[in-house]
């Protein structure tokens, strides 16, 4: 997975909100379990914030430079789809960050 | 109530019902008794008084208190039981099957009238000048049971007042010898300094040798005393209960956030009392929570101030905000540092976070002196076993803290479990009197290592324990080897059953030192430590306990806060904020419980809620924060972490798998020192408080003296 290496340099924080039990959060939960160690081994300081809340709609939120946030609802996503969503968020990073700088 | 729908969730039900399961065998077999002719099913272990309460019948009482042993010496709770000749004390008499209790019969009324007459025989008639007036059990009950006329012609007895220190005023003539205060000092505070001397009419309650009551929980004596014998010293003669407004809130001076009642009269906070909350503070609060509020009236910053050559000059909000905006605009975001203070609410922290990030500043520091934990998962920084976990646990290892001065209320809970549940306690770190027997097994991280190797005798005990708990003080994590200690503890957790996924138990409990710290971690704020970094602007958000050497000489310091303390002293620009009783704010406690502190009074002078100031500043700078009122800012908090808007509730979280592994490293063999050298003065509010100053003068030298009753270490 290519995004692991880019993660820390492109975005400032990745925030994942999920429910502890609901099936709609299953994808994001297994995404967290699978990727956490790898993310941390490559960027130990990178904030990979996981917050659980019953019945919460699962979300992936990326924070870019200057506090710009993009969020994707991953309700009912499979683990692969969540992975894809994160990758997309990282891809957008360049355009969002440069946009703000010219601003 | 609001949580009912949440309780249907299986994970949560398991979490909460675990305790009931343990007790169910005892609760299941019940017997039938009759209270005033009504049948009721109660467990056979109940006393008559408990059965009466369950049946909704109130029985007057003085000495009985449901958190302490039964002494049965006031005799106010007399009831009649069929086929028993004499009236019996219901608080001390167990129920038996088919028992028929009468609480309203003539015999009962006569008996209680008699008891009341005896109590009043020696009780002074000074209700008009007594502080307890209006909330006195004796006064209330004498209205029902007292006789119109007294029959005693003798002089009333008089008793010399005792000196209990500046917090508790004694008028011992009023004492009715209920012994609640004695039981409290023995059973709850663990400091058996009170007792009775003399017999009959000569009975006196006091410390035998004129010693002060040095317990950190001594203020609770006042709540316990059913009459006006022990009254609140600093509050003396300032207000009557019927003048006070009652605001149910939570205290933030203690990171456990005990439930409190804030009593106000007009714009002034008159006193703070504890509220019953079984999952946090039972019904105790420590003396700082109770009495430090008078610091809110001293040393307050009530206007915007700017530092000039000849001292601070007052300016208005517009000038102040413009000046702050101008300064912040002059530098780029990464030359700014934000520091979040200990008592900050989530609203302020979230506004601060959003504001700083918009400026391009990533350097927000909330972990006092850099506590090395990760905010990724909640299990990394919370008390995973929960405060109520103490009740279930069978072995507690306290690492690096003196619980009695750091967390007196938690210590009281542990003490209760030591005496009632046969909980065993071991301590690595300062060995001070905690008020119960514990085993002191070491002083430094070396002992932790030995336990991990299995060479230490304690390792065997840890192995055998069913639900062991390890209480780790967060101050250890800010040492240079903080992360290594955490790694050691995590290894211990995996080797022994500290972390036990089958029982859904994680015994690694980190005691954070402030709500501001926890709040920031909940929102995912951790700072990136850059050695040698020299910021041009430092924004102190109510932060007073920072290290002055970390702020360069030439930095422009903006202090937004409440007190003229360390932060304001160093500041170039001061913006007046609001203290915890002056704003409606959300806080998270060491458990992860989200509590709402309520607005009791308005901030003095020009003071404003902290998030409002940040909102205004952001607008002037052209990075307007997208919320205009409390509702909207709470939506924003919910967006970041939805569990933070579930009030008075501990959101269950994955505490056994999702944990950040700390990096292993070498631990330094220095001693785990006691972090609190003066319990009465640890933050800006308590340092400003005259009462706390009196307490440190009166108590601190006694606490360090050799005459503190030590419990032999087993
Ligand atoms: S001082 Fe108050 S609490 Fe103590 S025995 Fe007397 S009446 Fe009871
Ligand atoms: S309450 Fe029963 S004897 Fe005091």
Q: What is the CATH number of the domain that holds A61?
A: 3.40.30.10
The per-residue pLDDT for B101 is 94
Structure tokens at B603: 């901030």
Residue of B9, B354, B526 with shortest CB distance to A21 = B9
Encode B53-70: b = buried (16+ Cβ within 10 Å), e = exposed: bebebebbbbbbbeebeb
Q: What is residue B257's predicted lDDT score, i.e. its pLDDT?
A: 92
How far B12 CA sits from the closest chain A CA (Å)? 9
- DSSP states of B32-80 as a string? EEEETTEEEEE-TT-BHHHHHHHTT-----SS--TTS-----S-TTEEE
Q: What residue in A sits closest to B3 (Cα-Cα)?
A: A54
Helices B445-453, B482-495: inter-axial angle, 10-degree rounding: 30
Determine the 3-state secondary structure of B490 from DSSP: helix
Rounded to the nearest angstrom, the distance between the alpha carbon of B153 and the centre of ligand 2 is: 27
**Structure tokens belonging to residue B46:** 């109940």
Chain A residue with Cα closest to B649: A53
**Residues whose CB is less than 8 angstroms from the CB of residue B671 and which lie 6 or more positions away in sequence, other chains included:** B443, B444
For the CA of B172, the nearest atom of ligand 1: 1
Would you say the CB of residue B159 lies under 6 angstroms from ligand 1? no
* Contact call for B378 and A65, based on CB within 8 A: no
Helix (H, G, I), strand (E, B) or coil at B679: coil
DSSP string, B372-386: ---SSSGGGTSBTT-
The two beta strands, B336-340 and B573-576, are unpaired
Positions in chain B short of pLDDT 50:
1-10, 22, 706-714
Query: For B502, what's the count of Cα atoms within 13 Å in the CB-facing half-sphere?
Result: 4
Q: Diameter of chain B by CA atoms? A: 89
Q: Please give the distance, rounded to the nearest whole angstrom, from the Cα atom of residue B518 to the centre of ligand 2.
A: 43
pLDDT at A100: 60
Backbone angle region of B411, left / alpha / beta, with phi > 0 → left and psi within -120 to 50 → alpha: alpha
With an 8 Å Cβ cutoff, are B653 and A20 in contact?
yes
Q: What is the pLDDT of residue A12?
A: 87
Say if the Cβ atoms of A17 and B10 lie within 8 Å: no
State whether B357 and A51 contact (CB < 8 Å): no
At B704 the pLDDT is: 59
Chain A positions in Cβ-Cβ contact with residue B528 (cut-off 8 Å)? 45
Chain B partners within 8 Å of A45 (Cβ): 526, 528
First and final C-alpha spacing in chain A: 33
From its phi and psi, is residue B548 left (phi > 0), alpha (psi between -120 and 50) or beta? alpha
Q: State the alpha helices, DSSP H only, in B379-510.
A: 389-392, 403-406, 408-420, 445-453, 458-464, 482-495
Cα–Cα distance measured from residue B330 to residue B313, given in angstroms and rounded to the nearest whole number: 23
Q: What is the largest CA-CA distance in chain A?
A: 44
Cβ atoms B472, B228 nearer than 8 A: no
DSSP A39-75: HHHH-TT--EEEEE-TTPPPEEEEE-GGG-EEEEE-T
Instruction: Please name the residue that has the structure tokens 């006193």.
Output: B271
Which residues, including other chains, have CB under 8 Å from residue B322's CB and lie 6 or more apart? B620
Q: Inform me whether the C-beta atom of residue B360 falls under 8 Å from chain A C-beta atoms.
A: yes
Please say whether the dihedral angle defined by the alpha carbons of residues B286, B290, B294 and B300, taken in this order, is positive or negative: positive
Contacts of A12 in chain B (CB under 8 A): 357, 362
Cβ proximity of B410 and B434 under 8 Å: no
- Residue from B230, B231, B232 to probe ligand 1 pocket by mutation (most atoms less than 8 Å from CB): B230
**ipTM of the predicted structure?**
0.93
Say yes or no: B636 contacts chain A, CB-CB below 8 A.
Answer: no
Distance, in angstroms, between B391 CA and closest chain A CA? 25
Q: Which of B169, B211, B172 is nearest to B193 (CA)?
A: B211
Scan for tokens 């971690």, then name that residue. Answer: B521
Please state the pTM of the whole predicted model.
Answer: 0.90
Alpha-carbon span B123 to B62, nearest angstrom? 14
How far is residue B579's CA from residue B558's CA, in Å, rounded to a whole number?
17
In chain A, count H helices and then E strands: 3, 4
Q: Which residues of A touch B641 (CB under 8 A)?
A: 17, 51, 53
Q: Domains (ranges, CATH) in chain B?
A: 34-104 (3.10.20.740), 115-235 (3.30.70.20), 305-374+517-650 (3.40.50.740), 382-511 (3.40.228.10)
Q: What is the pLDDT of residue B27?
A: 56
Q: B573 has which bridge partners?
A: B306, B558
B517: closest CA of chain A, how far (Å): 16
* Residue partners of B82: CB distance under 8 A and separation at least 6: B99, B100, B101, B102
Could you read off the pLDDT of A9-57 as tens digits, one per residue? 888 889 999 998 888 888 888 888 888 888 888 888 888 899 999 888 9
Residue B641: closest C-alpha in chain A: A51
Which residues 6+ apart lie within 8 Å of B452 measured at CB? Answer: B459, B488, B491, B492, B495
The token pair at B55 is 């049946």
Q: Between vectors from CA B178 to CA B174 and to CA B181, what angle results, nearest 5°?
A: 90
Enclosing domain of residue A15: 2-101
List Cβ neighbours of B695 (8 Å cut-off, separation of 6 or more). B165, B166, B167, B287, B291, B680
Mutational pocket test of ligand 1: of B132, B179, B184, B222, the residue with most ligand atoms within 8 Å of the beta carbon = B179
Write down the pLDDT at residue B703.
Answer: 64
**Tokens 């929102």 correspond to what residue?**
B523
Which pLDDT score is estimated for B4? 40
Beta strands in B562-688 (DSSP E): 573-576, 585-588, 593-597, 649-650
Residue B612: closest CA among B364, B321, B267: B321
Per DSSP, the three-state class of B280 is coil
pLDDT by residue (tens digit) across A65-75? 888 888 888 88
Q: What is the pLDDT at residue B369?
A: 55
Which chain A residues have a beta carbon less than 8 Å from that of B636? none
Tokens of residue B501, six digits: 């996924």
For B362, the token pair is 């990533």
The Cα B585–Cα B634 span in angstroms is 10
Q: How many domains does chain A have?
A: 1
- Nearest one of B539, B517, B553 to B618, comparing CA atoms: B539
Residues of chain A contacting residue B377, judged by C-beta atoms under 8 Å apart: 50
Mutate to test the interface with B, among A45, A46, A50 (most CBs of B within 10 A): A50
């Amino acid at each position: 997975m290519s995004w692991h290496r880019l993660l820390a340099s492109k975005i400032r924080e990745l925030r994942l909100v999920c429910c502890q039990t609901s099936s709609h959060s299953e994808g994001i939960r297994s995404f967290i379990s699978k990727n956490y160690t790898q993310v941390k081994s490559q960027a130990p300081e990178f904030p990979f914030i996981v917050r659980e809340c019953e019945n919460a709609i699962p979300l992936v939120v990326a924070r870019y430079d200057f506090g710009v946030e993009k969020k994707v609802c991953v309700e009912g996503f499979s683990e692969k789809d969540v992975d894809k969503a994160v990758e997309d968020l990282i891809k957008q990073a360049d355009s969002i960050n440069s946009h703000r700088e010219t601003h | 109530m609001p949580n009912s729908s949440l309780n249907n969730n299986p994970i949560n039900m398991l979490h909460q019902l675990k305790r009931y399961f343990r007790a169910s065998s005892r609760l299941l077999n019940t017997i039938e008794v009759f209270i005033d002719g009504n049948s009721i099913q109660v467990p056979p272990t109940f006393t008559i008084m408990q059965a009466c309460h369950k049946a909704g019948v109130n029985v007057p009482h003085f000495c009985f208190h449901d958190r302490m042993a039964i002494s049965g010496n006031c005799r106010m709770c007399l009831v009649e039981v069929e086929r028993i000749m004499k009236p019996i004390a219901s608080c001390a008499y167990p129920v038996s099957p088919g028992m028929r209790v009468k609480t309203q019969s003539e015999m009962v009324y006569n008996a209680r009238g008699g008891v009341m007459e005896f109590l009043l025989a020696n009780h002074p008639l000074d209700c008009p000048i007594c502080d307890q007036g209006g909330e006195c059990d004796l006064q209330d009950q004498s209205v029902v049971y007292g006789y119109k006329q007294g029959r005693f012609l003798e002089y009333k007895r008089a008793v010399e007042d005792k000196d209990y220190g500046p917090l508790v005023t004694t008028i011992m003539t009023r004492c009715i010898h209920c012994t609640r205060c004695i039981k409290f000092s023995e059973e709850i505070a663990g400091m058996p300094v009170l007792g009775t001397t003399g017999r009959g009419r000569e009975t006196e309650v006091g410390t035998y040798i004129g010693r002060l009551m040095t317990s950190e929980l001594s203020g609770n004596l006042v709540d316990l005393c059913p009459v006006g014998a022990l009254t609140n010293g600093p509050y003396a003669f300032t207000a009557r209960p019927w003048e006070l407004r009652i605001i149910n809130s939570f205290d933030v001076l203690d990171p456990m956030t005990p439930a409190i009642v804030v009593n106000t009269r007009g714009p002034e906070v008159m006193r703070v009392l504890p509220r019953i909350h079984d999952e946090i503070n039972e019904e105790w609060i420590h003396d700082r929570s109770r009495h430090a509020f008078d610091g809110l009236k001293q040393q307050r910053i009530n206007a915007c101030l700017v530092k000039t050559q000849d001292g601070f000059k007052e300016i208005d909000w517009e000038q102040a905000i413009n000046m702050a905006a101008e300064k912040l605009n002059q530098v780029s975001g990464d030359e700014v540092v934000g520091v979040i203070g200990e008592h900050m609410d989530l609203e302020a922290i979230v506004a601060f976070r959003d504001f700083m990030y918009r400026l391009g500043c990533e350097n927000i520091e909330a972990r006092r002196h850099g506590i090395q934990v990760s905010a990724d998962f909640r299990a990394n920084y919370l008390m995973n076993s929960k405060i109520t976990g103490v009740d279930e646990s069978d072995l507690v290892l306290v690492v690096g803290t003196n619980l009695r001065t750091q967390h007196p209320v938690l210590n009281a809970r542990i003490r209760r479990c030591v005496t009632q549940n046969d909980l065993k306690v071991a301590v690595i770190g300062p060995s001070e009197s905690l008020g119960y027997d514990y085993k002191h097994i070491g002083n430094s991280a070396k002992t932790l290592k030995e336990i991990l190797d299995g060479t230490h005798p304690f390792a065997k005990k840890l192995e055998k324990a069913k639900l062991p708990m390890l209480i780790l003080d967060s101050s250890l994590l800010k040492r240079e080897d903080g992360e290594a200690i955490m790694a050691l503890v995590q290894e211990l957790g995996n080797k022994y059953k500290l972390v036990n996924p089958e029982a859904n138990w994680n015994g690694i409990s980190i005691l954070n030192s402030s709500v501001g710290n926890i709040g920031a971690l909940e929102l995912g704020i951790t700072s990136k430590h850059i050695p040698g970094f020299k910021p041009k602007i430092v924004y102190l958000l109510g932060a007073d306990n920072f290290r002055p050497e970390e702020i360069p000489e030439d930095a422009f310091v903006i202090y937004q806060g409440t007190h003229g303390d360390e932060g304001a002293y160093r500041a170039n620009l001061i913006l007046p904020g609001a203290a915890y009783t002056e704003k409606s704010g959300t806080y998270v406690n060491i458990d992860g419980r989200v509590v709402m502190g309520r607005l009791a009074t308005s901030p003095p002078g020009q003071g404003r809620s902290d998030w409002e100031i940040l909102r205004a500043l952001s607008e002037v700078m052209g990075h307007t924060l997208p919320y205009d009122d409390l509702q909207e800012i709470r939506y924003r908090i919910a967006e970041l972490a939805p569990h933070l808007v579930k009030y008075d509730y501990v959101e269950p979280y994955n505490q056994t798998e999702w944990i950040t592994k700390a990096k292993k490293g070498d631990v330094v063999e220095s001693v785990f020192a006691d972090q609190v050298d003066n319990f009465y003065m640890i933050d800006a509010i308590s340092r400003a408080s005259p009462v706390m100053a009196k307490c440190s003068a009166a108590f601190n030298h006694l606490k360090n003296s050799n005459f503190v009753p030590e419990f032999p270490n087993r």
